[in-house]
Structure 1
Amino acid sequence: MSEQGQNRTMVEVHRVPPTPKASRSRMWTDLYSEHVDRAATSLGDAEHCPAITIAQLGSVAMIRLDLAAGTIQRTAEQIGYVAEPTYAFLLQVSGTASFSHYGQDSVLAPGDFTLCNNAVPYVYASDGPADLLMIRAGAGTIREHLPSPEQFCGRHLRADEGLSESAAQLCLGVCEQLASGLPEAVHNRVARNLLDAIATAFAISFDGLITASAVLTGRHARVRLFIEENLRDPDLSPGLIATRLKLSSRYLRMIFASGDETASAYVLRRRLEECARQMADPASAHLTITDIAFGWGFNSAPHFARSFRERFGQAPRVYRREKLGVGMPLRAVGAEAG
């Protein structure tokens, strides 16, 4: 369905019709994949019918998602080849949700921002009704306002930090103007001002990232991107990362020195996090724990079980039972993986 303001902005509204839950889930996946990103989605038990509202503001797309409880997951397999990535500032308008991207995990409350690169896997999960606004533009446009955007991806900008509240109010005000009819003659100017306001809010709150060596932080972002893209590869190691990115082993260690973990520890943590996420997903209940672990690059079930227990404080099979319930099939519990 499309609605047009009087000689103004074209606003598209796409809503999943009220159908049985299984049909709604399939339709929601198709709708999101067609108008936002190719992704896998799931819906909770609520009868809510999710919707997407899209309005173009010059080079910026304003995408508003009316969501029910559920998840939106974009994997490396769904990304494929991306000629030029797009970036989206995500503004949590209402409800709460978790967002995982670039190895960062955030719990988004109303008024919070984060930044997403559609060429890198992400998971957005809400536990109830939520309103999410995406301010999306091409990489070139975003870099005009926020150089090296990769270093900000997945980082959590809270509503009470710096200029976040002002930026959020501006975003919502622009959405209202687009819905009522904003003259196209001012679209590009408004888009530039909007991106400047959001980028400034990020720059103020993450000043440490910008004042650090631009070369080093840019390299760190590229290394994390490479790791995210190759996390399932069992051969992924600091040596492979250094070789493929044409870095010395010493320089790779220097890149991670500013954090509290080495490159190999980062890879292990991210694999464990993705395994835990998939183990808690009902859509993967037919897979054994070993299937999941090996699918994320582990090649030893005992090593996985030991590492998982050290990170999460319990055996994988206990963790999975708690997340999915005691009624799941014994094969899927995967006693062979701890």
Structure 2
Amino acid sequence: MSMIEVHHLPPGTRAGRARAWEELYATQVERATVTLGESETGPTLSSGTLGPIRLVRIEMDSGLLQRTAEEIGHVAEPAYSFLLQIAGQASFSHYGQDCVLGPGDMSLCNNAVPYSYTAHGPVELLLIRAGIGTIREHLPSPEQFCGRHLRAAEGLAEHAVGLSQSVFFQLAADLPEAVHNRVARNLLDALATAFAIGFDDLISSSAVLTGRHARVRLFIEENLRNPDLSPGFIATRLKVSSRYLRMIFAAGNETASAYVLRRRLEECARQMADPACAHLTITDIAFGWGFNSAPHFARSFRERFGEAPRVYRREKLAALATGGGALSAGATESV
């Protein structure tokens, strides 16, 4: 008997299918906001448990999976997921990193930190999920790898993706339960080794500083909406000196304050381009991400994206709209 459950969305309206997909994703993976493409079919989600890990295969047309701070507030159990792009192309944003995943590419995701996965046309994605404790047995300091792009051609990435697919199909074909734990350990070892080889320079540069940098980034992501977030606030809360904080960020040629500003602007831009947030003013969005001055936000946004927030938003929503680029009723552009 197969140990993989296959879930198909029932027919219905686009809005109804989106709600059903959101509920299914919440039940089988975690709570998130989803947006479906124009297709009237799919997506399909198949999942199964293998010892301490869970395998989730997603087939979907163009669409968005986005986990925000609101959904994270409902996290039942912190977990990490290896994202294996099997087919198609998608953009993945996480931990301040942005990458475009192609067939055979990989990344790592922490469900306690916001992320977004945007499918550019039909895709197939395989998630290998495990609790924090299990992941750290195979990949110490996993935070440093979150959101990073491991390409298929790098190191053992292609081998690890191929092994993961093979394990999934064997589980679907009734893999003997007596070997589940052993197979799970071997699979996690292969995935962890692929990341260790692919990011050898990251690990060897300084394990202590790199691990600390990852923990600081995690703290920033968790507190990005807090208007009090500053280098002094970060240093105090994490009990490190301001000098040490500067040293941690020096390797990336970006100060802590510059990192905070960049991440806030990126999240504002992402939300401004989301039709689901069209009822919010630009000021609402900016202040919701920790800005406390509209002129400062507008100036910083223009410096980063090359145009005023209202122009950026209008262009993005117009590109997404079907039959026109007007903002939905009630949306105003105050910045």
TM-score range, shorter chain: over 0.9
Match of 1:297 among 290, 297, 318: 290
Q: Which residue of 2 aligns with 1:150?
A: 143
Match of 2:80 among 81, 87, 90: 87
Amino acid at match of 1:171: S
Amino acid at match of 2:42: C
Amino acid at match of 1:29: E
CA contact (8 A) 1:18 1:49 kept: no
Residues of 2 paired with 1:293 and 1:113: CA distance? 32
Q: Secondary structure at the match of 1:141?
A: helix
Amino acid at match of 1:186: V
Going from structure 1 to structure 2, the CA distance change for 1:46 and 1:123 (only over 3 Å counts) comes to same
Q: Deviations over 1:167-220 (max 9, x none)?
A: 111111111111111111111111111111111111111001211222211111
CA contact (8 A) 1:320 1:333 kept: no
Q: Deviations over 1:265-309 (max 9, x none)?
A: 000000000011001101011111111111111111111111111
Amino acid at match of 1:321: R
Q: Which residue of 2 aligns with 1:121?
A: 114
Amino acid at match of 2:147: G
Matched, 1:137 2:130: yes
Q: Which residue of 2 aligns with 1:180?
A: 173
Going from structure 1 to structure 2, the CA distance change for 1:222 and 1:83 (only over 3 Å counts) comes to farther
Q: CA RMSD in A?
A: 1.4
Q: Which residue of 1 aligns with 2:321?
A: none
**TM-score (norm. length: structure 1):** 0.94
* Amino-acid identity (%): 71
Shift of 1:70: 1.2
| Residues 128-277 of structure 1 aligned to structure 2 (within 5 Å) | 128-277=121-270
Match of 1:281 among 274, 283, 288: 274
Shift of 1:84: 5.1
Structure 2 portions without partners, runs of 5+: 319-324
Q: Deviations over 1:3-31 (max 9, x none)?
A: x33xxxx2112221121101011111111
Match of 2:5 among 1, 12, 15: 12
Q: Secondary structure at the match of 2:331?
A: helix
Q: Deviations over 1:126-145 (max 9, x none)?
A: 12111110001111111111
Q: Secondary structure at the match of 1:297?
A: coil
Tell me the number of residue pairs that the alignment of Structure 1 and Structure 2 aligns. 329
Q: Deviations over 1:46-97 (max 9, x none)?
A: 1122121111111111111111211111112211265752111000111111
| Residues 2-151 of structure 1 aligned to structure 2 (within 5 Å) | 4-5=1-2, 10-80=3-73, 85-151=78-144
Residues of 2 paired with 1:100 and 1:117: CA distance? 12
Amino acid at match of 2:331: A
Q: Secondary structure at the match of 2:4?
A: strand
Amino acid at match of 1:150: E
Amino acid at match of 1:243: T
